[in-house]
Each structure stands twice: as C-alpha cells, then as structure tokens.
C-alpha cells in the first residue's frame, strides 16, 4: 500500500511538471503582448518597452518559466498585469468560493446519487427504478444554467428564501456563506447526481450478477445482505472514477453558474483574465486547476487501493 502510494505520488509530481511546461508554452504562443494591450493602440514604443521591462517580459522564455515555477513553489505566483496586485491574493479570494462550492455540490450530488442508485438497483425493473431512472434522464438533459434560473425564480423571487446571487463573504458567518452557495450548489449538483446515480445503479446491477454474489446467497445471505456486504464495495470502482472526474469539473467548470449567481469564483477570474490578456493570472489559475485535478486523481487512486486489495500490489 505504501509502495503503491509512493508510486502514485511520483506520477503526481511528474504530471505537474509536464503540465506546467505545457501551460507555459501554450500561453507563450498566444498572440497579443500584454504590455501593448494594457497601454492601448496609441502607446509609444518606448513606453511599451519600459512596461515590458517592469513586467519582467523582456528576459528569455526559459528564465521566465524557471522564475514562474520556483515562485509557485514558494507561494509567489507573480503580480497581475492588470490589477498590479499579487496573483496569490486574487486566487486566494476566489478559491474561498470555488472550493467550498465544489465540495458542497459534490456532497449534495453524492448524497442524492448513492441512495437513488442503490434503491433503483435493488428494485430493478420496478416502478421505483423506472421513476428514478426517468428523473436522472431529465437531470442529465436539463441545462444547469436554465435550472439555476428556475431555482432563482422559485426560491429567490417567489419564496424569497435565498438571495438571487452574490456572496456576502465568510466573515458574515458559516451559515450565511453556505446559504449563499446553496442554490448554485444545487444547480451544479443536479446533473452530476443524475450521472452518478446511473453509474451507481449499473455498477451495482453488474456486480449483483457476479458469481460471488451467488456464493454469498448460497451461504444464506438475503439479497439485501448480499448487496450491502458484497456488491457495494465492488461497485465503488466506477463510482469513484466518476466522482473524481466530477470534482475536477466542478472546480473549473462552474463559470456559467458563477455568472448566473454573480459569484466571484475561479471560473470568472479565468474568464476575465483571458479577455484582459492578464497572462500571469491565467497561467497561475490554470496551473492551480491542474494541480487540483491531479491531486483528486491521486486521491481517487488511493481510494481504489483502499477498496480493492488487488491494486495494493505485493505488500
């Protein structure tokens, strides 16, 4: 198990290094010089070159890459070209919204999907199963921004239970913060929960047809006992894979929902930075998202091994 974890950790490090190189190169080839963009079309060449100097753009690409990577290792992500504030502070503010939102949505999605998937699988072919599967079909089909607007209409405008958008900040208290994130989290969780419930159901049904379930039944376990004791853990591998993918998506892919609810999250930050040629911010946020994805993949790998002893290797 330890050897397996170390191996995964090594591949995590290598993935990050490779990703940083790719991100840096991709941004290098993007047309548009930040300095001339910031100063406008009428800027004098010497003003531009002065600004380039100030932004540290006139040294070689390699040394800029090294500065960037070593800076990140020490927590220095550079300074935003546009706002002239440390990138790390900008990201810090945003991540305090994006990360809790992702975790909130994923928790909701798991809490909905597990019971729904298990119930549907255990009552396969029944009215319950058909209704749950119908609902998940709908959940996958509905665009989440539309569902988000629907939530706003019902819960903010008509019932007035939640505010329609914005984020008061965590200083107002945990409950206030969570309350502000509730509608966005529900909007994000709906399609994820639908997918997860379907995966859970089919994985469980597949596992229930395995030979070892028959063996368990021959020992005297009821169908329900065989499912809880033997099938569930075996069905977790595909479910964990999907959860991992969903978390990565929720971290970065919430741009539309952030816009609907006016949440200053990472998605909106990337969007703004790209349109303002604030390349250093783009680079850093993308790198951060890659880090989150790679980290989640690592955690999922560890979870695989915890679930399935065959992956632990000869320990």
Partner 1 sequence: MSFLQIENLNMSIYGIDILKNVSLSAAKGEIIGVIGESGSGKSMTAFSVMNLLPAGAGVSGEITLDGQDLLAKSEAEMCAIRGSDIGMIFQEPMTALNPVKTIGDQVAETVLIHGNATRSEARAIARDTLNRVGLPAEQFPLSRYPHELSGGQRQRVVIAMAIALRPKLLIADEPTTALDVTTQAQILDLLKQLVAEDGMCLMLITHDLGVVAEVADHIVIMKTGEVVESGETHALFRDMQHPYTKALFAASSHVPDKGDARGSKKPLLEVRNAVRDYTMPRKSVFGKPQSFRAVNDVSFVLHDGENLGLVGESGCGKSTLTRAILGLEALQGGEIRIDGVPVEAGTHMSHDLRRKMQVVLQDPYGSFNPRHKVARLIAEPLHLLEVEPKGAERRQAVEEALISVGMQPSDADKYIHEFSGGQRQRIAIARALILRPDLIILDEAVSALDVSIRAQILDLLTDLSSRLNLSYLFISHDLSVVCSVTDRVMVMNAGQIVEHGKTEDVFTNPQHDYTKTLIAAAPSLKDALEKENN
Which of 32/220 has CB closer to partner 1?
Answer: 220
**Binding-site size, partner 1 (CB under 8 A):** 24
Q: Answer yes or no whether residue 126 interacts with partner 1 by CB under 8 A.
A: no
Q: Is 212 in the site for partner 1 (CB under 8 A)?
A: yes
Instruction: Please choose, out of 45-53, 181-189, 207-215, 272-280, the segment that lies near partner 1 by the rule CB under 8 A.
Output: 207-215
Q: Which is nearer to partner 1, 179 or 217 (CB)?
A: 217
Residue 86's DSSP bridge partners are: 79
The answer to the question of residue 123 lying near partner 1 (CB under 8 A) is no
- Partner residues linked to 79 by β-bridges: 86
The smaller minimum CB distance to partner 1, of residues 28 and 233, is found at 233
Indicate whether 225 belongs to the interface with partner 1 (CB under 8 A): yes
Binding-site string for partner 1 from residue 140 to residue 179, where x marks contact by CB under 8 A and - marks none: ----------------------------------------
One character per residue 286-315, x = contact with partner 1 (rule: CB under 8 A): ---------------------xxxx--x--
Q: Looking at 22, 66, 85, 214, which residue binds partner 1 (CB under 8 A)?
A: 214
Binding mask 228-257 for partner 1 (x = CB under 8 A): -xx--xx-----------------------
| Residue choice 106, 216, 263, 266 for contact with partner 1 (CB under 8 A) | 216
Which residues contribute to the site for partner 1 (CB under 8 A)?
A: 6-7, 210-212, 214-222, 225, 229-230, 233-234, 307-310, 313
């Amino acid at each position: 198990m330890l050897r397996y974890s170390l191996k995964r950790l090594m591949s995590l490090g290598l993935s990050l290094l490779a990703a940083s190189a790719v991100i840096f190169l991709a941004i290098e080839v993007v047309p548009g010089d930040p300095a001339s963009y910031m100063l406008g079309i009428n800027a004098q060449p010497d003003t531009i070159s002065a600004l380039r100097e100030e932004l540290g753009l006139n040294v070689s690409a390699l040394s800029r890459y090294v500065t960037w990577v070593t800076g990140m290792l020490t927590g220095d992500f550079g300074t935003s070209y546009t706002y002239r504030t440390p990138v790390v502070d900008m990201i810090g503010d945003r991540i305090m919204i994006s990360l809790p939102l992702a975790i909130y949505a994923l928790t909701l999605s798991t809490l909905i999907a597990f019971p729904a998937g298990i119930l549907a699988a255990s009552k396969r072919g029944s009215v319950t199963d058909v209704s749950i599967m119908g609902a998940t079909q709908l959940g996958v089909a509905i665009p989440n921004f539309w569902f988000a607007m629907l939530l706003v209409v019902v819960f903010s405008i008509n019932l007035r239970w939640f505010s329609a958008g914005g984020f008061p900040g965590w200083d107002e208290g945990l409950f206030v913060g969570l309350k502000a994130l509730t509608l966005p989290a529900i909007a994000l969780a709906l399609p994820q929960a639908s997918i997860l419930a379907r995966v859970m159901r089919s994985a469980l049904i597949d596992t229930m047809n395995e030979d070892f379930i028959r063996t368990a039944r021959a020992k005297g376990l009821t169908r329900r006992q065989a499912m809880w004791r033997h099938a569930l853990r075996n069905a977790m591998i595909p479910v964990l894979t999907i959860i991992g993918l969903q978390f990565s998506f929720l971290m970065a892919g919430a741009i539309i929902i952030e816009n609907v609810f006016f949440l200053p999250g990472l998605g909106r930050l990337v969007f703004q930075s790209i349109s303002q040629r604030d390349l250093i911010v783009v680079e850093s946020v993308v790198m951060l998202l890659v880090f989150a994805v790679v980290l989640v993949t690592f955690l999922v790998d560890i979870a695989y091994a915890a679930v399935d002893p065959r992956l632990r290797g000869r320990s």
